[in-house]
Amino acid sequence: METLKTECTPEENTHIITDIRFRPNSTQLATSSFDATVRVWDAAQPSYCMWKFTVHTAQVMSLDFHPKKNDLFCSCDGNSEIRFWNINLYSCTRISEGGCSNVRFQPRIGQFLAAAAETVVSIVDVETDRRAQLLQGHNTEVHSICWDTNGDFLASVSLDSVRVWSLA
């Protein structure tokens, strides 16, 4: 950062990278890609990929790390499949449906996962794997979602609107 020069440019992905997230309390980060992979990197040694997850059958659109359970992250693909991963065991622990463009864990506690698919956003209880709420109101595809820092509000954006939802 002092020199503002690129240290390295890894070229392991064969298609565009769609999302990137840091693992909480770590120098590790993960990327999702159109090449149907999720890759984990170490920002302290970014010249090579540490792990490559290749189980998705479609382009991986988004991923996120759980804010408290440092070994848990999820990813979603173009087939609306959400995969929950244990990074320490290098394994997929659960598969759910309902997210194809964006997934984000609720900050701080991670009780809920917001998953955008087409014009709706599902709020899924992470522990029970049940949909707690279905947020409808967009007329076009939801492209991005974002929680406030407390996890009380969720914002979603599409071509036609920005919506702010209250979990209360």
Q: Is 90 domain-assigned?
A: yes
Residue 155, domain extent: 17-166
Q: Which residues contact 30 (CB under 8 A, 6 or more apart)?
A: 20, 21, 23, 38, 39, 40, 41, 63, 65, 73
Q: Does the residue 147 lie in any domain?
A: yes
Question: Cα separation of 91 and 37, whole Å?
Answer: 14
Strands 28-33 and 120-125: unpaired
Q: What is the CATH number of the domain that holds 71?
A: 2.130.10.10
* Per-residue pLDDT, 45: 87
Residue 70 belongs to a domain: yes
- When divided into structural domains, the chain yields a total of 1
- Report the pLDDT value the prediction gives residue 42, as an integer from 0 to 100: 94
Residue 9 lies in a domain: no
Residue 74 lies in a domain: yes
Mind listing the pLDDT tens digit for each residue in 115-147?
Answer: 999 999 999 999 999 999 999 999 999 999 999
**pLDDT > 70: what percent of the chain?**
93
pLDDT mean values, one per 10 residues, the chain (168 residues): 61 78 95 94 88 91 96 94 92 87 95 96 94 95 95 96 94
Question: Has residue 101 been placed in a domain?
Answer: yes
Residue 76 lies in a domain: yes
Tokens of 60: 């991986």
Residue 137 forms part of a structural domain: yes
User: Mapping DSSP to helix (H, G, I), strand (E, B) and coil, where does residue 6 land?
Assistant: coil
Task: Please report, as a single letter, which amino acid is at residue 142.
Answer: V
Structure tokens, 29: 């980060």
Report the distance separating Cα 168 and Cα 165, nearest Å.
9
Kindly report the CA angle at 10 between 53 and 99, in degrees rounded to 5?
Answer: 40
